[in-house]
Each structure stands twice: as structure tokens, then as C-alpha cells.
Structure 1
Amino acid sequence: MHKTELIYLKDIERVANSVVTVGTFDGVHEGHKSLINTVVEKAKKRDARSVVISFDPHPRDIINPGTAGIKQLTTIRERREILEDIGIDVLLIIPFDRDFSLLSSEEFVKNIVFEKIGVSEFVIGYDHHFGKDRSGSIETIENLGKELGFEAYIVSKKEMGDMTVSSTLIRKVLAAEGDVQLASSLLGRSYLLNGIVIHGDKRGRSIGFPTANLKAEHPNKVIPKDGVYAVRVRVADVWYQGMMNIGNRPTFEGASKALEVNIFEFDEDIYGQTIQVRFMQRLRGEKKFSGIDGLVEQLKQDQKDALSIFSTLDQ
């Protein structure tokens, strides 16, 4: 299996024969993939190292965070896993801070990409801008390529496809609408959430639907809209079917916001473990029931609905 190394800038080894591209690539969505696939193809032809240069935190968190900051579709670890499936050799993370944001596009390419990372070919999207005040463009890369001795390859709009996909759109689809199916089509895969299993109030176990309560791996991770979802769950590299509730559990007085997943046909102690949830379909919004009996009947129906979805998906 192909391995993608996760390396921070301070630890990178300069390799002159590297095909690189640069961007935040949050979500690594369908709009990003033609660019990244081009990097892989070019690197194979050159027998070169393929490198995706990304940033942490999200640049907008430093430059223009707004009141709540930028919610992330993918953590760094999730980004690496997705890029591994595509075939990238190195995910290089540059810590993004105020000082870095002041680098001009020329300084970035010369001092970081050329001097520290190494580059034989720079792949860039037809509309990509970077560097201080987003002044860097295709022309910047082409001119510096001639000066420093690397090639520039522009991925055209046609190659990138007609779909206008953006991380901002996917965040809205998930957080405001809970439409995980649309989000999946825009991402090119199921939306995923890595979370650490923490202790909850154990109410689920007492009513026959034990749940693993999750704390999202990253505090800025995009959480889908409150409701109940059919999900697949990975525990120690084994996949299970399940359903997940996101919300304040209005049937119980004083309950706080929770992420809780009921894993079908599973009864193991996994406290403290990190598990992965992949969202398949929204089942319903959150409801308040008059009592436990009504909730249990609804959960039984939710489980039936989820199993029906899985049987259709697995055909």
C-alpha cells in the first residue's frame, strides 16, 4: 500500500526532483483532485517525489478569522489519509502564522519551495493565487520557473471540470443542511469524522442502544447539522454499520450537546480509542419524545431505516 509521509517544513529534506503543488486543500474535494492527480502523474513520468504543500492552521484563521474562526472539513491526519489513497508521496505542512502571511509570492517560491523543498515542476490551477495579498499567480510561477530552472504546468478549467466545488459550499451543506449525501458527491467520498471515545451518561446502554460518545479529534472540525445519521464506523481497522445522533438529546432534561454513535452488533470496551465515522445518509432531525418508550420505538425504526440504506448501498 502506498504511504504518504506527513512532514513539517522544519524537517523536510530538499529533493530537487520534486513535483509540487500548494494550497490549503481542506476537504481534498473533487475540485482539488484533478490538480493532485496531475501532480502524481507528472511525478511518475519524471521519477520524482510528489509533494502537496498545505498549511496549518487554515490561513483564513490568521488573516480573516471572523468571530468563530474557520471550521475544517479535514484535519491534517485526515488530509494525509485521503492523499495516501490518491498516491501522493509527501504532505508537507507549513505552520501558518502572521510572519509567514507577510511573505511575498516570490519569496515563498524562492525561499521555501525552491531552496527548502526542491522543485522540478510546479503544478498550479488556472485560477490559483497565493502569497501576501494573494499576489502570486500563474505568471509568477512561470517567470520564476524560467529564472530558477523548473517547469510550470497549469491545470486548465476544462481539466478541472465544470463543477464549481468549494470547501465553503461543502461546509454549508454539512453544517446548515446536514445533507451528507450531497457533501459526499462534492467530496468524492463519504464525509468523515475522527473522534476519541469518551465516557458519557450511559443512558443508551440502559435502553438497549449503547453508544460510543465522541469528542471530535479537532475542535474546529465541521460537525453535520443536529440529527440522526446512518454511518459506517471504523474501529481498529474493522468497519461496522451504525447510526449516529448529533445534538442536545431534548428528551432528557439538562442534556448537553453530544456526538454519540450506536455501532450495530458490537460490544467492546473502546474508551480512549480513536474511531472513524463516515456519514452515509441523514435519517431524520432531532426530536423530543414524551418518554423513554417513544424514544426507544423511534430508535428501533432508525435502525431499520439505516439497515435498509446499507443493504441498498451494498448491492
Structure 2
Amino acid sequence: MKVVTDQTEFPKEIGPTAITIGKFDGLHFGHRKLISQLRLESQKRGLAPVAVTFDRHPMTLVAPEKAPKPIVSVAQKVDLIAKQNIDATVVLEFNRELSHVPPLEFVRDLLVGQLGMRLIVIGRDFKFGHKGLGDVDFLIAHEREFGYQVIIVEDEAGENGRRASSTWVRECLESGDVESATEVLGRYHMLRGTVVHGAKRGRELGFPTANLEAETLEGFIPADGVYAGWLRSEGKNYPASISVGNNPTFEGVPQKQVEAHIIDLDDIDLYDKRVEVLFVRRLRGMEKFDSLEALIDRIQLDVDETRTLLQL
């Protein structure tokens, strides 16, 4: 899959195109339905399927105090889209200039002129252009003028009937309900970061951990607590008990520290490596213990519960 960060340099060999557009934060099952329909319709017409997304949530520019935390980084999002078997992803820089582009110019100059759009596959509530004045009706009204077709994909709902949304995923993660987040995402929620040296308290307690450097973390950090999950390094998955938070039993531990103890494997060297941490289930909240012995007993129980949950 080609990744294009400057739409003016969109590869001429890709096209004409079928396009879908969205923030695609987290790439939940509703997003994947949209892209799946894009693939299907593009194959019928001999078009190149292309996803168009943004490098940030528009709210970070127009109302930063209201902007939601991203579920995934731009790099993570591109990696997730790449697994959907499309030809290209265009990542638009959402800046002042783009935010002021009228809907007509956005369609005529960018989508049709630069990206060669002949088909657009979108959700019914899609908005675009300056002040969100462009919508589905606008696109349909200009089909004949610009020579493209519009296909509307209805919202995808979960088992409880709620519409799939990035907001729903964030609510799940904020409460530590990573199991529900998994259902909406269709995959385990994932953080990515670089392993660095920590205070080595885990090793002293008999449970060495891989500490993820806060400055390198990508992805939405879920609620404080201990989770069962996996640590992925160089294509291999290792069962892990994952701690998120400041570990109140000790002083000086940073807020939202993410560390993972790999179960039954103490000799792996992960320092300075980029790893992924995948969350399966929250085992408990963050607790302060009166003694190291009580903490060790609780960690051992966390490990045992993780081992059972992951069927090791």
C-alpha cells in the first residue's frame, strides 16, 4: 500500500480511484465495513481503492480544549489501514488552510482533480469542507458535474444496537473495559512504545517488567489498573501481566506508567526495542499495599489469573 502525505504528489499510476474519507481513529468495525465496501465496489468498476484520512482530529485545530485523545497514532492508523488490502492511503495535514477550503474546491480540486476520484463510498453522516458545510446531499448534487458516483454505507451497530464509534471506544478505555473495546475495534487495543530501563523494582520483587518510555508511547492509555494481555516484539507474542498507573505502593513512579511482565520468560532482552502491548482484560484497579509481601502475593495472583485467562 502506498502512503501519500502530499496529495499534490499522488502517484499517477494509481487511478482512476474509488475513495472513502474519514478520521478512522482506531479503525473500529464500522470503519472496516466502509473500507470493505470500498474494496468491493472498486473491484466491480476496475478502480483503485484509496482511503483519505487526516493527521489529527479537526477539533485539535478549531477547538483544542474539546479535542478527544486519539485512540491510535497516525502511524498506527496507517498500519491498520494497510491490512485492509487497498492501494493507497492519503494522510492530509489538517491545518488552517485545509479547514477553510470550501466543499466545492475540496471535491473538484482535491478529490477529483488530484486523486482522480470516480467513486466515493461514505457514511450517511459524513461532513467535509469549511465549517462542515459539505455533506452527502452536496456530493450527490455534484455527481454528474464532476463525473463520480456516491455510495452510502449505513452505520454498523454492535450487539447492543449502539452505533460503532471512536467515542464508544474511548469510553470503554477510560473505564478500563478493554473487553468491550475489543468488541468495537474487532481486535485487542494496542499501545506501542520503546522499552527503557526503569527502577528495576519488578526484578527485585521477582517479576521483571518491560517499561515503556512515556515519550514514545503511541495509542490511548486505558484506565489505571492491572491487565492480562500480550507483549509483541519482532513478530512474536508473549503472554504478559500489564500494569498501568503510578504504582502507589512506591514513591516517585510516574503517572500512567505502562509496564509489562512477560510470564514464564525472564531472559529476553527488550531494551531499546519498539514493542506493542495488547490488552485482553482488566484484572483489577491500581492498589496500594501495606507491605512488599502483600504486593508480591497480589502480583503472583495477577500472573496466575493471566495465565488462566490466556489459556497457557
Shorter-chain TM-score category? over 0.9
Identify the residue that residue 83 of structure 1 maps to in structure 2.
Answer: 81
State which drifts further: 92-101 or 256-265: 256-265
Residue 86 of structure 1 aligns to a residue whose secondary structure is coil
Identify the residue that residue 36 of structure 1 maps to in structure 2.
Answer: 35
1:31–1:163 Cα contact (<8 Å) kept: no
Identify the residue that residue 2 of structure 2 maps to in structure 1.
Answer: 5
1:203 aligned residue (198, 201, 204): 201
- In 2, the alpha carbon distance for the partners of 1:279 and 1:221 equals 12
For residue 13 of structure 1, report the CA deviation from its aligned partner: 1.6
For residue 65 of structure 1, report the CA deviation from its aligned partner: 1.4
- Deviations 1:185-240, CA, capped at 9 Å, x for gaps: 11111111111112211111111111111135766732100000001111100111
1:70–1:220 Cα contact (<8 Å) kept: no
C-alpha change, 1:237 and 1:245, in structure 2 (3 Å) is: same
For residue 42 of structure 1, report the CA deviation from its aligned partner: 1.3
- In 1, the alpha carbon distance for the partners of 2:276 and 2:74 equals 14
Alignment map for 1:177-216 (pairs within 5 Å)? 177-215=175-213
Letter in 1 for 2:4: I
Residue 124 of structure 1 aligns to a residue whose secondary structure is strand
Identify the residue that residue 127 of structure 2 maps to in structure 1.
Answer: 129
C-alpha change, 1:211 and 1:118, in structure 2 (3 Å) is: same
For residue 294 of structure 1, report the CA deviation from its aligned partner: 0.9
For residue 95 of structure 1, report the CA deviation from its aligned partner: 0.6
2:192–2:217 Cα contact (<8 Å) kept: no
C-alpha change, 1:12 and 1:160, in structure 2 (3 Å) is: farther
Residue 182 of structure 2 aligns to a residue whose secondary structure is helix
- In 2, the alpha carbon distance for the partners of 1:160 and 1:143 equals 28
Alignment map for 1:16-165 (pairs within 5 Å)? 16-66=15-65, 69-157=67-155, 162-165=161-164
Letter in 2 for 1:201: A
| Moved segments of 4+, more than 4 Å | 159-162, 216-220
Query: Structure 2: 5+ residue runs without aligned partners?
Result: none
For residue 84 of structure 1, report the CA deviation from its aligned partner: 2.5
Identity within the alignment, %: 33
Letter in 2 for 1:304: D
Residue 142 of structure 2 aligns to a residue whose secondary structure is helix
Identify the residue that residue 235 of structure 2 maps to in structure 1.
Answer: 237
- In 1, the alpha carbon distance for the partners of 2:207 and 2:2 equals 39
Alignment of 1:297 with 2:297, yes or no, is yes
- In 2, the alpha carbon distance for the partners of 1:292 and 1:305 equals 20
Residue 120 of structure 1 aligns to a residue whose secondary structure is strand
Query: Structure 1: 5+ residue runs without aligned partners?
Result: none
Alignment of 1:285 with 2:290, yes or no, is no
Identify the residue that residue 249 of structure 1 maps to in structure 2.
Answer: 247
Letter in 2 for 1:202: K
- In 1, the alpha carbon distance for the partners of 2:101 and 2:215 equals 31
- In 1, the alpha carbon distance for the partners of 2:29 and 2:245 equals 29
C-alpha change, 1:164 and 1:233, in structure 2 (3 Å) is: same
- In 2, the alpha carbon distance for the partners of 1:111 and 1:80 equals 24
- In 2, the alpha carbon distance for the partners of 1:165 and 1:65 equals 24
State which drifts further: 8-17 or 279-288: 8-17
C-alpha change, 1:242 and 1:219, in structure 2 (3 Å) is: closer
Residue 207 of structure 2 aligns to a residue whose secondary structure is coil
For residue 93 of structure 1, report the CA deviation from its aligned partner: 0.1
- In 2, the alpha carbon distance for the partners of 1:102 and 1:89 equals 28
2:194–2:217 Cα contact (<8 Å) kept: no
- In 2, the alpha carbon distance for the partners of 1:240 and 1:220 equals 19
Residue 66 of structure 1 aligns to a residue whose secondary structure is helix
